[in-house]
Structures are given as C-alpha cells and as structure tokens.
Amino acid sequence: MYRSLMLLFTPMTGWQKIANQSWHVLVVFLFSISPIMVASCAVEGWAMLKFGAGKGPFGNLIELEPSRILSYEILQLALGIVLLFAGGKFVQWVCGGFQTEATYRQSFTLTAYGLTPVFWLRFLDGLPTIPTWICWALAAIAIMVVLYHGVALILQPSTSIGFGLYLVSSASLVALSGIAHFVATGILTEQFDLPAFLKMAPL
C-alpha cells in the first residue's frame, strides 16, 4: 500500500522501488493491491450508509437499501479484480503491437499499480457532496500521470516507441476503468439489473 501511495506524490521514486522488488503477480495483488481495494470499498460503503448516496441524476441524495450497497461494493471488488488481471493481459498485447517483449508479470505490475488511483479516490467517492464521475475523472488524470514513468521503468521499451506505448497503455486502462465504473454506477442507481449472483434479501 505504501508504494502505491508513493506513486501519487513521487512517481519516479515509487516506480524505481517497484521495479527493484520484482514481485510475483499474486504477491503484488495480495499484499499491495487487494488491501487498498477492500479498504476503499469498505469506507465507501460505510459512508454511503451513513450520509446517503449522491448518485441521483441531479446530484441529489438518494437512499439505498443496505443490501444494495453491499451488492454494489461486492461488484466493485469483482470488477476491480477483472480489471487488474484482464488489463494486465491487454497491456501485454499492446506491448507486442509495439514490438516490445514484456512478461505478464511486468504488464500486471504496471497495470495493478497504475490503477491504484482508482482505488484511492474511492475513499472520497462515498461522500455525497462529491459527484462520482468527478472522483473517476481525478483518478483518470492520476493514472495518466502515474504511468508516465511506470511504462519506462517496468516495461523498458526502446526510446523510439516509449511515448507511443505510454499513450496507448494509459488510454486503454483509463477507458477500461471508465467502463467498469459506468457498469457499477448503473447498477447502483438501478439503471441496470443486478447480476443474479449478487441478488440477496434485504438486510
């Protein structure tokens, strides 16, 4: 968690430490990323229960059943996991398109740490006074900033294609995170139906 937070303030130093550690994919996920995901969902869910959810069409507060908030946060976790592992594979494919050999460990490490702004901003997303898409937009900007040094230090492309690889990788991850956020928010506001496995009796 410390290294992911460092990326927001001193990205060069943070990425250098991450590059030197060379952790396995599961170690990165279990010990660096999943604690942030779980903690941010827990805080967001608690804030929505306590203060209400500012998710109405005009920024108004709406009341949600505790069971729906719980389902929403479970969905957030599930989408986050899919985003991390599928995003890592997608970045690896992007590297291949730029004639850059990258292992899945490298691609996953870049993706996992690069997406941590999404999870950190989720701590604020539970506050009804802050529109959810403002939180996502701030996270998207932070992803672009964080990945600037990450692509060079983790993927180590040649200088002639490094910037292009950065643009495509960062834009792809921002787009994927936006799709995930759109789906989760749509289910929360009942624009979409809950998946069957998330439907539960009211608490």
pLDDT tens digits in sequence order for the chain, 203 residues long? 778 889 999 999 999 999 998 899 999 999 999 999 999 999 999 998 888 776 554 556 677 788 888 989 999 999 999 999 999 999 999 999 999 999 999 999 999 999 999 999 999 998 888 888 999 999 999 999 999 999 999 999 998 899 999 999 999 999 999 999 999 988 887 777 766 545 654 44
Token representation of residue 131: 């529109």
Question: Domain span at residue 137?
Answer: 2-198
Claim: this prediction has a pTM higher than 0.95: no
- pLDDT for res 54: 60
Q: What are phi and psi of 101, to 5 degrees?
A: -80, 125
Token representation of residue 108: 């996953």
Give a yes or no: residue 122 inside a domain. yes
Give a yes or no: residue 30 inside a domain. yes
Residue 54 half-sphere exposure, CB side, CA atoms within 13 Å? Answer: 17
Give a yes or no: residue 203 inside a domain. no
- pLDDT for res 199: 60
Q: Report the distance separating Cα 39 and Cα 73, nearest Å.
A: 11
- pLDDT for res 25: 97
Give a yes or no: residue 85 inside a domain. yes
Query: What DSSP string runs through the chain?
Result: -HHHHHHHH-HHHHHHHHHHH---HHHIIIIIIHHHHHHHHHHHHHHHHHH-B--STTS--B---HHHHHHHHHHHHHHHHHHHHHHHHHHHHHHHHTT----HHHHHHHHHHHTHHHHHHHHHHT-TTS-HHHHHHHHHHHHHHHHHHHIIIII---HHHHHHHHHHHHHHHHHHHHHHHHHHHHHHTTSSPPPGGG-----
Give a yes or no: residue 135 inside a domain. yes
- pLDDT for res 130: 86
Give a yes or no: residue 178 inside a domain. yes
Total count of domains within the chain: 1
Q: Are the beta carbons of 74 and 83 closer than 8 angstroms? A: no
